[in-house]
Structure 1
């Protein structure tokens, strides 16, 4: 597996990431993909070509020079959208489907939970909730939520 210090990364005129390898070969349209997006988001990032083939590996984002790290982080941010729930304000019903009103790190929003199976347990105490449109919401620590939120959540778990 080739490490990033053997490569150069930049944006082309179309805003795509271009990876130039040690042999001088350019690969346009590379995409960073996190190996562990929730458990270790800043560790283990692959740079893959448009066909999904791994071209380079980043052990830790913090090991990259500032300019390179900024490019990778910007690309990741533009591709990933996973609001983090800080509070469950209300639910329309304790039967599914139900509409949830939640506060997230991106503001307050409503979403529809189709079924209890759309709440997945991750490494304790984290949860991942998928709404009816396929947007995933993260709860880092369900035990750290306020009492009202935990009470609602417990009805669905």
Structure 2
């Protein structure tokens, strides 16, 4: 574990408060991932209420356990991106259509407006946006089961 030159805690209102090595206190800091999909635990900034970077963190895993836990807890409360593990069914191969998927957060139904709402992220990952703006992640399209790949191929 590396040594850090700041302290992170929750204030009485539940917001993150950071004290740097010089004793400067920043209230209401927020963690922001540089690469939320491809490297979620690497390259993270703690920014102040004005959006200015206060601290840069190379790897969350290098932080003391309590500090890393606070950051992960804050991120989980702000980020909602279910990861699709299996495509169960689609109502039609024409859009708009309703998809039924199994995610890391349970089964979900969403409406896909058009093929343009499926975006490639790198070589393996896909980001699918539903009509409500919720984004579903397929971390690696090549590891999906045969049935899911067949459905996905019809939309790509």
Q: Same fold (TM over 0.5)?
A: yes
* Aligned-CA RMSD value: 1.3
> Which consecutive segments of 4 or more residues in structure 1 shift more than 2 A?
none
Per-residue deviation at 1:23? 2.2
**Taking structure 2 as the reference length, what is the TM-score of the superposition?**
0.95
Determine whether 1:17 maps to 2:16: yes
Unaligned 5+ segments in structure 2 are none
Partner residue of 2:153?
A: 154
Higher strand share: 2
Per-residue deviation at 1:17? 0.0
Unaligned 5+ segments in structure 1 are none
Determine whether 1:107 maps to 2:126: no
**Taking structure 1 as the reference length, what is the TM-score of the superposition?**
0.94
Q: Deviations over 1:114-157 (max 9, x none)?
A: 11111001111111101111111111111211111111100100
Q: Deviations over 1:90-110 (max 9, x none)?
A: 111111111100000101010
Partner residue of 2:136?
A: 137
Q: Deviations over 1:9-62 (max 9, x none)?
A: 110000000011222221111100010011111100000112211110111011
Matches within 5 A, 1:49-128: 49-128=48-127
Which SS does the other structure have where 2:26 is aligned?
strand
CA distance in 2, matches of 1:111, 1:82: 13
CA distance in 1, matches of 2:66, 2:101: 36
Which SS does the other structure have where 2:127 is aligned?
strand
Which SS does the other structure have where 2:4 is aligned?
helix
Determine whether 1:43 maps to 2:42: yes
